Chains A and B, each alone.
Chain A
Amino acid sequence: MNKRLLQNIFKLFFLLIVFLLQLESATAQQEKTISGIIIDAKTKEPIVGAVVAVRGTTIGVATTEKGVFSLKVKKLPAILVVSTVGYESQRINAYGTESLNISLKESVSRLDEVVITGYSTQERKSISGSIVTLNTKDALKDLPTAGINQLLQGKATGVQVLSNSGVPGGGITFRVRGSNSINAANEPLYIVDGVFISSSDPIRTGLGQQAASNPLSDINPSDIENLVILKDANATAIYGSLGANGVIIITTKRGKLNTKARIDLNISHGWSTAINKFKVTTGPETATLANEALLNTAIDNGLSPSSVTYLFPDPSKAPTYDRTDDLFRVAATTNYEVSAQGGTAKSTYYVGFGYLKQESIVKPSDFERYSARINYDNNLTDKLKVGTSLNLSRTWRNVSSNDNNPKGVINSALFVRSYLPVYNADGSYARYGSFDNHIALIDHLDNNAIGWRAIGNIFAEYTILPELKFRSNWSVDNNDVSENNYASTLISAGIATNGAADAYDTKNIVYTSEQVLTYIKSFGTNNKHSINALVGNTLNTVQQQYLSASGTGFATNDLKDISVAATRSGSSSRSESKLVSFFGKASYTYDSKYTIDGSLRADGSSKFGKNKRWGYFPSAGLTWNASKESFIRDLGLFNELKFRASAGYSGNQNGIGSYAALGLWSAGYNYVETAGTAPSQLANPDLTWETTRQIDIGTEFSVFNNRINIDIDYYNKYTTDLLLNVPVPYRSGFSSYLQNYGSVSNKGVEFALQTVNVKTTDFNWTTDFNISVNKNRIEKLASDISLGASGRNISILRQGYAVNSFQLYKQLYVDPQTGNAVYEDVNNDGKITSADRQIVGNALPKFTGGFTNEITYKNFSLNVFFYFQQGNKIMNMNDFFMVHGGTQNNIGFLPRQLERWQKPGDVTDIPRLTTYSGDPTVNGGSANNYGGNVASLSSRYLEDASFIRLKNITLGYTIPESITSKWHISKLRANISASNLLTFTNYKGLDPEVSSQGGNQNTAGYDWATVPQPRTIQVGLNVTF
């Protein structure tokens, strides 16, 4: 598609609008007033803040404190649509002759809900895209997590959420309908009140490939009203190049017009402990194993057993020093929140303040957050509304390195041999091999990351005509993290240099300007025809700035600033990218039964080559609201029945460098204090959008008087022109070349079931069950790309397999006669070489899901939530290192090593201990037991990590209003909850919910000295004044 064609399409959009406007104005008449009162059908109480809108226009008002409303229309009769949260919306014909008395019934239906979609809101029944809406009910908030995205685990279909570790505020993996991309980003687009926010991790303190932070944990989940997940192409195409990985629209709480001030107070305290703790072999066991390895090695080398000198001739004399117990603590969580909301006839407000402090169960990391929010809207005139949303937060993390880092806290406690003392004879910290002393780290690690996050927008909405509204929105997300790390002479990192200090300042800033013109119109007899259309554009700029400084050589450990270091150095860099987008979307509904819609978006990105900078992303959808058909209604079976189908394209440009298309020589390749340059990137003027095509077919229906609601979706995604770092021969001087090459597909089925099992005045029981199946496959790739685990290349990307596959030597068995491991000789050449590595599993679950039961009895409520995932594997790197057969002199053993083969006839999967280094190609030879070509890259360390977990159970009690009203409290709720109370898994490591190499999306599924998920008991109190 060329530029001219695009221009023409946009012209058409405008001409259509102009044409419709003319139709309208031809019939313009004198304005008429309609007024009335809205009441609850059951209690007959007035409903405050209900929205009364004139159908087919953008006119709407909210009811006052007394439940009354009054509005002006151009012609009569008019159709009023009355809606408010928790009630079925109603349609009334108003003739303007008398004051209306409208009673609303409590809502049981879902299709009448108004749903936020890209840039607008629509009734659910006319939406053809796949969209999940979640209200942050109390149940969602009872989990003690800092990030809202973490709370979605098991709550929505098509969304896979995994915490990378149990560190509070730490990184998470979040995927909507699988991974589309290999080198570009797989993160969804997060939009908070219209602000496109940055989801890149700004923390730069090295954490052994772990993602240090979840950028969404800067937002207090309690400030959030609801959350919408746009999954399919029709829903996301309006976000074009930003929408391929799904869109999460977060709407924060706002006050309602004409409501009294409401003050909410939340207090909760929690206590977390480790579910399992690391166990290592005792001193005597370690000595026995070490001796056995020495003896076996001597035998393999043809030496006499008497030539062996043992470290502990009598292993039982070896002492035992427990280190791993020192790591854990009962970690406290403290949360205080206060908020106020309300509104006058013209304006509304919400202000909230929160404080959260969360300790990690593994010392010494902590997370602390202060958050403040101000949302304010003012109707300046009948036509002009202005408003702002502002989130300010300050976070603090004591960043502690674990995972793939020998100087990490867990590593230093876990890996050191247990017969070695923790302290030297003189009382100083003892250190062994590559490891630090864990107590030294716990007591003296001094890494502070302070984040300041400002997410804000100002907007204006102008109602040009009843049907036509213009909205202008200007927003910024400023994520600024400054880190100050000091390694004193008491920890290994600071010993050599007499103290070492590092400081980083990272700014990720996103500016967005957005102009949208919305047109909503109904016409014809009984207004059978409805049109909902919009056009708009956005300008989006992403800036990144880095500043770093380091200093070494400090007079004493009390001096920590780089300014007083003996040697200092610093560096800074910055980058900027821009995106220009134009979009349009229109839907037409006939008789509330059939909806057809389409959208088109054009994006130009500064990241791409001049030749192919613009991408065009169309989509289309169909909806059939069958429950409106008389023949369906006559069946008497369905309360609701809706079918929808959609197809479309969306693009991706996130995750690649700002200047990825340019041929570059970078500076900074210096020598002898002289500035140097060197080739750093090959030019690719044809670099362009990674494009995802998606087809979605879905149905939503309710039966048995809305007691059973079912949503089913099938989708088929195909991503082409992957932005792929294609490996190139090293003789080019480069290692890879970013080009559009390769394809990935994701196919899946999503099923959600909601049932109302019991519904009486006193007793209610509802069940939510959801399950999502996704099948990922790399359809096309230039060549295998292997990576992960510090160059051990355990993870692999290979055509025909899913991303996040593991390649290892497959251990078939341990020969009961020799005790040597036998591996599968894939190419049958009789030797074990690197060609015999094969794909033996995958880190992606086959399916994930959640199962929630909510029971309320009188004032009690009980919420029980299970999360499950099945079919994913974890590479247990702790086993890899600590079931080493004697090859690692400085590393102890895990108890699994005790299961080793010892004598002929032993049947086990742990081979005979030896460090023999004979011919590394012999299969079934002792060289490959732990060393050799296999080098422990064996499937024996890969484990199934499927699990079912009682993620949360919460018991709440609301004190009867008759009592609280005496205290001038309108609601008082107390609750107690437990998280991760039960876990059912075959995984032998501490916790199956880990991904220690989560800093890279292609190295998922490693457990490597990682902080496990904690078990938490929490009590809380909610007070509303």
Chain B
Amino acid sequence: MKKSYKYIAAIYLIAIGLSFTSCENYLSESPSDAIPSENAITDAGTARAAIIGAYDAVQGYYASNYPTLGTITADNVVFNGTLSQYLQLDQNSIPTDNAITVPAYQGIYKAINSANAVIATVGTIKDPLLTEIEKNKILGEAYFIRALGYFDLARGWGGVQLQLKPTSDLGALKGIKRSTLSATYDQVLADLVQAETLLPEDATTRNRAQKSTVRALRARLHLYREQWTDAEDYATQVIANTTKYALVKPYKTFFTSPFLSAESVFELTFSSNDKNSFWNLWYPSTVGGQFTLKPSNSLVAKLNDVQIGGTRNTVIAGTGATVYGVLYNTISSSTDPSYVIRIAELYLIRAEARAKKATPDLPGAISDLNLVRARADVPAFAGTTQAEVIQAIEDENSLEFAFESHRWFDLVRTKRVGDVLGVANTNFWLFPLPYSDILSDPDVTQNPGY
């Protein structure tokens, strides 16, 4: 008897002793849908996956948030829903926790962080399956994505904090203050220069970055910085690639499936496994949408005027009180692309650059403008003065890109927000930085007025 319980107790003690040593293994669990950060980019497969992940992040903010920021804030699109974040944008009284500006800002930095990880790591990979050419392509894409990210931040929020290294721990964040707008654009330029040398060019790719994509963004960057000759030069380089890019006719071709038309310089592709249901915000509930974003009456009037809108009235549908936008229209499959850069924009960039450069080239500007108008079956421009040409280009931009992220940013860059939209306080020409960043980041400063 006496022995038996001693025996039991002894076994128990031994068992406990053993279990402490084996516990550590027993308690090691790892997920099956994620990989440890330190193994994230180590070979050809993971490098390819990482750059895809960066594109996914660009999709993340371009699917609906960024186009919303570029449209409802201006005069082509009005609020028609229930969600107050859209009302705030429409009224240009945007709180620091607006539920569109915050995720857009956050999403852009996610893309930048992914790009930073690729830039920091891919060069060091030793994997025979990853050729130097592919390595350069991946790196070039990462530089482009980072450039696009900082460009989209700069035009929305002004100069921002430049994160150029991937975040592996929070300590690395300390001490990075906001850069000036000019310094932010300088960083965009530096990345675009890198990307242009690293990237390839083929005749068909439109949904991943290539040399022409970089040049197109660079043309836009120079336009924003009012560097007219550079803008003209880079726009020309893209337009010159006529085997790849053309103004498609009729207008609706580019937003009708199959997508990736010759119109597209850069569009983000979605699929039935990777959906974009932005249409939901545009369509009325009778067809299953929310109808939060609605074409303004003035836009509808212009689009329906054949002298002004031409065939671009195909971008709206419906009658009376339920006229709605159909640029994003794949209601049964939710596969609408995000249209980031179209060749029409390059014509209008060049037109504006030609009209505004030190020695204006008005005939050249008008010729570019008319190409865009002709595609929409709108009569040729009849004005002659520089001011008329510039105004005509602004108006053309507004209609040509009615539901893409242009109008607001164009009015901001040309300082016309006050005149056109009546928002006189220039503080409100920039979006507020996220409330939570102001609270959590000692290095950040809020935009004035918020």
Q: B243 an interface residue at 8 Å Cβ cutoff?
A: no
Q: B385 an interface residue at 8 Å Cβ cutoff?
A: no
Is there an interface contact between B166 and A552, defined as CB atoms closer than 8 Å?
no
Q: A927 an interface residue at 8 Å Cβ cutoff?
A: yes
Is there an interface contact between A674 and B331, defined as CB atoms closer than 8 Å?
no
Is there an interface contact between A679 and B284, defined as CB atoms closer than 8 Å?
no
Is there an interface contact between A730 and B109, defined as CB atoms closer than 8 Å?
yes
Residues in chain A near residue B130, CB distance under 8 A? none
Per-residue contact bits, chain A 661-694, to B (CB 8 Å; 1 contact, 0 not): 0111111111111111111111100000000000
Is there an interface contact between A658 and B55, defined as CB atoms closer than 8 Å?
no
Is there an interface contact between B93 and A783, defined as CB atoms closer than 8 Å?
no
Chain A interface size, under 10 / 10 to 19 / 20 to 34 / 35 or more: 35 or more
Q: A677-B53, A732-B109, A735-B106 are in contact. Are A494 and B95 (CB under 8 A)?
A: no
Q: B32 an interface residue at 8 Å Cβ cutoff?
A: yes
User: Number of A-B pairs whose CB atoms are under 8 Å?
Assistant: 319
Q: Which of A496, A576, A730 has the largest number of chain B CB atoms within 10 A?
A: A730
- Give the CA-CA distance A620 to B189 in the complex, in Å: 67
Interface segment among A229-237, A316-324, A882-890: the answer is A882-890
Residues in chain B near residue A668, CB distance under 8 A? 33
Q: How far is the CB of A312 from chain B (nearest CB, A)?
A: 14
Q: A18 an interface residue at 8 Å Cβ cutoff?
A: yes
Q: A671-B59, A678-B54, A679-B166 are in contact. Are A784 and B2 (CB under 8 A)?
A: no
Partner of B29, one of A658, A671, A834: A658
Is there an interface contact between A671 and B30, defined as CB atoms closer than 8 Å?
no
Residues in chain B near residue A678, CB distance under 8 A? 50, 53-54, 56-57, 110, 114
Is there an interface contact between B27 and A605, defined as CB atoms closer than 8 Å?
yes
Q: How far is the CB of A778 from chain B (nearest CB, A)?
A: 14
Q: A606 an interface residue at 8 Å Cβ cutoff?
A: yes
- Give the CA-CA distance A671 to B35 in the complex, in Å: 18
Q: B291 an interface residue at 8 Å Cβ cutoff?
A: yes
Residues in chain A near residue B27, CB distance under 8 A? 578, 580, 604-606, 613
Residues in chain B near residue A434, CB distance under 8 A? 81-83, 285, 290-292
Q: A935 an interface residue at 8 Å Cβ cutoff?
A: yes
Is there an interface contact between A675 and B52, defined as CB atoms closer than 8 Å?
yes
Residues in chain A near residue B436, CB distance under 8 A? 727, 730, 735, 783, 785-786
Is there an interface contact between B16 and A537, defined as CB atoms closer than 8 Å?
yes
Q: How far is the CB of B268 from chain A (nearest CB, A)?
A: 8
Q: A931 an interface residue at 8 Å Cβ cutoff?
A: yes
- Give the CA-CA distance A733 to B169 in the complex, in Å: 11
Is there an interface contact between A669 and B97, defined as CB atoms closer than 8 Å?
no
Is there an interface contact between A3 and B20, defined as CB atoms closer than 8 Å?
yes
Q: How far is the CB of B162 from chain A (nearest CB, A)?
A: 9
Residues in chain A near residue B20, CB distance under 8 A? 3, 7
Per-residue contact bits, chain B 383-412, to A (CB 8 Å; 1 contact, 0 not): 000000000000000000000000000000
Is there an interface contact between B56 and A669, defined as CB atoms closer than 8 Å?
yes
Is there an interface contact between B440 and A782, defined as CB atoms closer than 8 Å?
yes
Is there an interface contact between B34 and A494, defined as CB atoms closer than 8 Å?
no
Per-residue contact bits, chain B 272-283, to A (CB 8 Å; 1 contact, 0 not): 111000011001
Q: A468 an interface residue at 8 Å Cβ cutoff?
A: yes
Q: How far is the CB of A540 from chain B (nearest CB, A)?
A: 11
Is there an interface contact between B167 and A682, defined as CB atoms closer than 8 Å?
yes
Is there an interface contact between A664 and B34, defined as CB atoms closer than 8 Å?
yes
Is there an interface contact between A672 and B31, defined as CB atoms closer than 8 Å?
no
Partner of A731, one of B29, B161, B268, B272: B161
Residues in chain A near residue B114, CB distance under 8 A? 678-679, 733
Residues in chain B near residue A118, CB distance under 8 A? none
Name the CB-closest residue of A to B99. Answer: A791
- Give the CA-CA distance A214 to B419 in the complex, in Å: 57
- Give the CA-CA distance A927 to B161 in the complex, in Å: 33
Is there an interface contact between B434 and A14, defined as CB atoms closer than 8 Å?
no
Partner of A659, one of B6, B19, B34: B34
Interface segment among B36-44, B310-318, B352-360, B373-381: the answer is B36-44
- Give the CA-CA distance A578 to B95 in the complex, in Å: 44
Interface segment among A21-29, A369-377, A965-973, A980-988: the answer is A21-29
Q: B128 an interface residue at 8 Å Cβ cutoff?
A: no
Per-residue contact bits, chain A 2-14, to B (CB 8 Å; 1 contact, 0 not): 0100010011001
Q: A682-B167, A732-B109 are in contact. Are A492 and B26 (CB under 8 A)?
A: no
Q: How far is the CB of A385 from chain B (nearest CB, A)?
A: 18
Residues in chain B near residue A828, CB distance under 8 A? none
Interface segment among A567-575, A864-872, A953-961: the answer is A567-575
Complex A-B: 25 CB contacts under 8 Å: A18-B6, A433-B290, A434-B292, A495-B286, A496-B279, A496-B289, A578-B27, A659-B30, A664-B34, A664-B35, A670-B52, A671-B55, A674-B49, A677-B52, A679-B114, A728-B440, A733-B116, A734-B167, A792-B85, A887-B87, A889-B80, A890-B82, A890-B291, A917-B92, A931-B88
B residues engaging A (CB < 8 A)? Answer: 1-2, 4-6, 8-9, 12-13, 16-17, 19-20, 23-24, 26-38, 40, 46, 48-57, 59, 80-85, 87-88, 90-93, 95-99, 102, 105-106, 109-110, 112-114, 116-117, 160-161, 163, 166-170, 173, 176, 207-208, 268-269, 271-274, 279-280, 283-292, 331-333, 425, 434-437, 439-441, 443-444, 449-450
